[in-house]
Amino acid sequence: MNSKFIFRSILAVAVVTAASCKPELKTATPSKGNADFSRYISVGNSLTSGFADNGLYLEGQQNSYPLMIATQMQTVGGGAFSTPFFNANQSDGTGYKKLSGFTATGDPVITDVPAQAVIGSATVPGFGTVPLFTKYTGDLNNYGVPGIRLNNITLTYYGNLNPYFERLLPNTSPANTIPYLSFVTAKPYTFFSMWLGNNDVLGYATGGASVPADFPTDKALFAQLYNLAAGTMVKGGTGGAGTAKGVVATIPDVLSTPYFTTVTLKALLTAVQASAPTVQAIFIQPGSGAPRPATADDYFLLPLKAANVIGKPNAAGIPYGLHPLNPVESKYVLDKAEAAVIVDYTNSYNATIKSVAAANGLALMDANALFKSYAAGRVVNGAAVSAAYITGNLFSLDGIHLTPLGYAIVANEFIKSINSQYGSSIPIVDVTKYRGVKFP
Amino acid sequence: MKKILLSFLLAVPILGYSQSYQVNLQGQKQTAMGGAGTGVALDEAAVFFNPGAVSFLKKNGVQAGGSAIFLKAAFKENGSNITEYTKDKTVVDPSAYAVFGNPNNRLRFGLGVYVPFGGAVHWDPNWTGKYTVTSLDLQAIYVQPTLSYKITDHIGIGAGLVYSRGKVDLKRAVPLTLNDGTSATAQLKGHSNDFGWNAGIYVETVSGVTIGVSHRSQVTAKVKDGDAIFRVPDALKDGFPTSFSANLPLPATSSIGLGFYPSSKTIIAVDANWVHWSTYKVLAFDYNNNSRIPNTSSPRNYHDGGAVRVGIQNMATDRLALRLGAAYAFTPVGKGYVTPEVPDANRILLSAGLGYKASERFSIDLSFLYENIKSRNETNFETNLSGAFKTVAYIPGLALSYKW
């Protein structure tokens, strides 16, 4: 081997290495597949609006899953996406909850951030007084309306009763007459997401099944309305091409949210027994029948903790929750029978949603399965994420709605469903860029 | 001499490469020859490569050098369209050797200061894998006094005691949100002081081929009462630890090398290394306060790693030596265990270099090493971080030596 050869080889090594200075990873070019994302709209309730910490406020809106999806869609031909943001000077919106510390025993201290966007109230004949929020006038892609049930979407007067909907409408309550479904389809669109139905079962559950008016929507009516909604949405809106693609989502199991899992019988008993070791039972007022000792199959609701009433004597001197004559009120308890109703209706609704999605060729995001998989905890890019209250990173301080990180996980699940149904390759969002519950 | 050694003891951290956090840049001549050097008595760096060959060095000498490591790692999360890169951080890997004693005697003395393990990987503090690691600085500097003895004119043995001074500084984000919306962070910093050994045998065969066998023992770097610095929300601060302990194995390496001498001007060195990585089962941290976080034990489950190396040196003139080498290293990291602090994979190494004898006593050696670590798409068992890693490194180096 001569020196010339070695010298040439040295040059060759130099050339090879200089030519590849940075490590390269193969990237597939993002593709829209057989869908068209040029105008995407999102239809849904509080989860779609970005509601969090028991309120709708600017930061939550900025971290809504539809906005995340729309931003990612822009790499595959998606257009601009407008969210009905609160003004920056009213960024606290409807007000929300924040964590301000912990008690000596480790319980969270949660305080209210006051509303900034409440500008008055209106009287709706036959209904009562509703608050009014600062109106939003501008382009609209995120149509999420907190509180809306599926059986509200065809009501002509609903825009007068729900202030979150009213703020998107041209008229002031009680002068609105356009139903939600007509409103969202008034302009053409090419792609939609629809996550409706949660509130048809949620309100009854969070009220401890104590308000008969909140009873879940009839199953047959739900199926009829869901077919109507999906059948209308796939037409692409008034003045459009007559067709649109989309994604729908199932309803999560509300009983696995922190609202129902944080206050447990065991925790209540342990707290009481610290000062009264002989106490063996917590008495509850079930939905029907006489007060009885609670079992592990009954759910205590999150507000019971903040109410701080356990053990407080009533006028007759009987301690709250510790005696059949002063049981924990029905509004704080979802007893075993009531919980079974929630599960039954949720399952029925989800069967409907899945079959309607299949019949209309829509992508399906199985939120029920998604949240089930996170209930006991999963590790996401090194971060522990679970349904634990405050520390779980998934649920916000109201115990039902999500943190920005939770919404990012939802956005990615939507993106995966869309990609798999339509052969697109919308890139996922980086969930670690989003926060969990803020600690003081 | 003392000053030179001292300056290297104070030297900056080292970049991890060539098999997880093992570093193989212990001599400029050998680096230019693909890292081969166990079976040849090339220079003072034999103190590291094979203490048995030290007694075969024809002259006494001192040398000091360093390699600057430019390493870039890339990561793309599966499903994402964004590739993230490690930050530019150039570090210098020093080494220094001295060989004393009468070259005509059978017994010779050596001293080596080198860095066989290290790492410096710095991701963006807000990158996708921030909850696994944001930066790791690791360095184990070995000081090795050595004896080498010629049993016969053709067989030498040698051994050295190794004192290891270790330093670790690990940072990551903690999945708790501070009031300003950013993530909490953790930093673990500590030192270790441990001992090990290095031994080898060197044989000149009748055929003219030389053979070397060496073994460098495992050193377990034990960090006691390191600083655990948690930047967490004030409301939670009380329950977090302030110190930690950890053990990190710096594994044993067994090597066999051959030297061929096709002409008086040419040396070909061939090495095979067996690195006993399988002792690295877990990366565990024990904290002094467990009320908020438990002690952690992250599975690593490395298997043994290895490398094959070949290098050639040719004296172009009496003063100028040209060198070339190549190597292939087999990663010890199994499927599902790749972590971003050491995004390891099988790798190809190409090297080149030259040596210039300025006078009978002074010479200078230059080397350039290119490492291409294969792309690897993995989902980590523990963190579920899922994506593709790819790393390349460019390592120029220089050493000065003085012989007498």
Q: Is the pLDDT of residue B46 over 80?
A: yes
Mean pLDDT of B12-29: 66
pLDDT for res A14: 63
- Please, what are the domains in chain A? 40-254+337-433 (3.40.50.1110), 261-334 (no CATH)
Residues 271-330 of A with CB under 8 A from B: none
pLDDT for res A82: 98
Q: With beta carbons under 8 A apart, name residues in chain B contacting A432.
A: 126-131, 173
Residue B13, preceding peptide bond in cis (omega within 30° of 0): no
pLDDT band at A157 (very low <50, low <70, confident <90, very high): very high
Structure confidence by residue, pLDDT tens digits, B56-100: 999 999 999 999 998 899 999 999 999 999 998 888 889 999 999
Average pLDDT of every residue of chain A: 94
Tokens linked to B384: 């579920």
- CA-nearest residue to A4 within chain B is B316
Structure confidence by residue, pLDDT tens digits, B266-322: 999 999 999 999 999 999 999 999 988 999 999 999 999 999 999 999 999 999 999
Q: With beta carbons under 8 A apart, name residues in chain A contacting B323.
A: 6
Q: Is the pLDDT of residue A393 over 60?
A: yes
Q: Is the pLDDT of residue B12 over 50?
A: no
Q: Is the pLDDT of residue B331 over 90?
A: yes
Pairing of strands B183-204, B243-250: unpaired
pLDDT for res B310: 96
Q: Is the CB of A89 inside 8 Å of chain B's CB atoms?
A: no
Q: Is the pLDDT of residue B111 over 90?
A: yes
SS (H, E, C) chain A: CCHHHHHHHHHHHHHHHHCCCCCCCCCCCCCCCCCCCCCEEEEECHHHHCCECCECCHHHHHCCHHHHHHHHHHHHCCCCCCCCCCCHHHCCCCCEEEEEEECCCCCEEEEEECCCCEEEEEEECCCEEEEEECCCCCCCCECCCCCCCHHHCCCCCHHHHCHHHHCCCCCCCCCCCCCHHHHHCCCCCCEEEEECCCHHHHHHHHCCCCCHHHCCCCHHHHHHHHHHHHHHHCCCCCCCCCCCEEEEECCCCHHHCHHHHCCCHHHHHHHHHCCCCCCCCCEECCCCCCCEECCCCCEECCHHHHHCCCCCECCCCCECCCCCCCCECHHHEECHHHHHHHHHHHHHHHHHHHHHHHHCCCEEECHHHHHHHHHCCEEECCEEEECCCCCCECECCCCCCECHHHHHHHHHHHHHHHHHHHCCCCCCCCHHHCCCCECC
Structure confidence by residue, pLDDT tens digits, A414-439: 999 999 999 999 999 999 999 999 99
Tokens linked to B150: 């010629």
Q: Are B199 and B213 in contact (CB under 8 A)?
A: no
Express as a percent the part of chain B with pLDDT over 70. 95
Mean pLDDT of A332-347: 96
pLDDT for res A7: 66
Q: Is the pLDDT of residue A3 over 80?
A: no
Write the ipTM.
0.91
**Distance between CA atoms of A171 and A183, rounded to whole angstroms?**
13
Q: With beta carbons under 8 A apart, name residues in chain A contacting B368.
A: 13-14, 17
Q: Closest Cα of chain A to B317: distance in Å? A: 9
Q: Is the pLDDT of residue A27 over 90?
A: no
Q: Are A74 and A414 in contact (CB under 8 A)?
A: no
Comparing CB atoms, the residue among A10, A30, A427 nearest residue B322 is: A10
User: Going by C-beta distance under 8 Å and a sequence separation of 6 or more, which residues neighbour residue A138?
Assistant: A82, A84
pTM: 0.92
Q: Is the CB of B322 inside 8 Å of chain A's CB atoms?
A: yes
Q: With beta carbons under 8 A apart, name residues in chain A contacting B312.
A: 1, 6
Q: Is the pLDDT of residue A312 over 60?
A: yes
Report how far apart, in Å, the C-alpha atoms of B244 and of each of A272, B118, B188, B228, B235 are: 37, 20, 8, 6, 22
**Distance between CA atoms of A122 and A130, rounded to whole angstroms?**
5
Structure confidence by residue, pLDDT tens digits, B220-279: 999 999 999 999 999 899 889 999 999 999 999 999 999 999 999 999 999 999 999 999
Comparing CB atoms, the residue among A9, A381, A384 nearest residue B129 is: A381
pLDDT for res B280: 93
- CA-nearest residue to B368 within chain A is A14
Residues 2-61 of B with CB under 8 A from A: none
Q: Is the pLDDT of residue B112 over 50?
A: yes
pLDDT for res B4: 40
**Distance between CA atoms of A177 and A162, rounded to whole angstroms?**
13
Express as a percent the part of chain B with pLDDT over 90. 87
Q: Is the pLDDT of residue A192 over 60?
A: yes
What do you get for the CA distance between the two ends of chain A, in Å?
A: 71
- CA-nearest residue to A437 within chain B is B177
- Please, what are the domains in chain B? 1-403 (2.40.160.60)
pLDDT for res B52: 96
Tokens linked to B42: 């090339």
pLDDT band at A13 (very low <50, low <70, confident <90, very high): low
Q: Is the CB of A437 inside 8 Å of chain B's CB atoms?
A: yes
**Distance between CA atoms of A225 and A222, rounded to whole angstroms?**
5
Residue B214 pairs in a beta bridge with B200, B255
Q: Closest Cα of chain B to A25: distance in Å? A: 7
**Distance between CA atoms of B381 and A372, rounded to whole angstroms?**
20
pLDDT for res A16: 58
Mean pLDDT of B349-371: 94
Q: With beta carbons under 8 A apart, name residues in chain A contacting B74.
A: 22-25
pLDDT for res A12: 65
pLDDT band at B337 (very low <50, low <70, confident <90, very high): very high
Pairing of strands A245-249, A191-195: parallel
Comparing CB atoms, the residue among B79, B177, B388 nearest residue A25 is: B388
Residue keyed to tokens 């009533």 = A314
Q: Is the pLDDT of residue B6 over 60?
A: no
Whether A9 and B352 lie within 8 Å, measured CB to CB: yes
Task: Compare A183 and B6 and report the one with higher pLDDT.
Answer: A183
Structure confidence by residue, pLDDT tens digits, A360-369: 999 999 999 9
Q: With beta carbons under 8 A apart, name residues in chain B contacting A23.
A: 72-74, 85, 375, 390-392
Mean pLDDT of A266-282: 92
Q: Is the CB of B185 inside 8 Å of chain A's CB atoms?
A: no
Residues 332-391 of A with CB under 8 A from B: 378-385, 391
pLDDT for res B343: 87
Q: Closest Cα of chain A to B387: distance in Å? A: 10
pLDDT for res A106: 84
User: Which range has the worst mean pLDDT, A384-398, A420-434, B2-16, B333-347?
Assistant: B2-16
Q: Is the pLDDT of residue A5 over 80?
A: no
Q: Are B107 and B149 in contact (CB under 8 A)?
A: yes
Report how far apart, in Å, the C-alpha atoms of B172 and of each of B218, B296, B386 are: 28, 14, 17
pLDDT for res A241: 86
Average pLDDT of every residue of chain B: 92
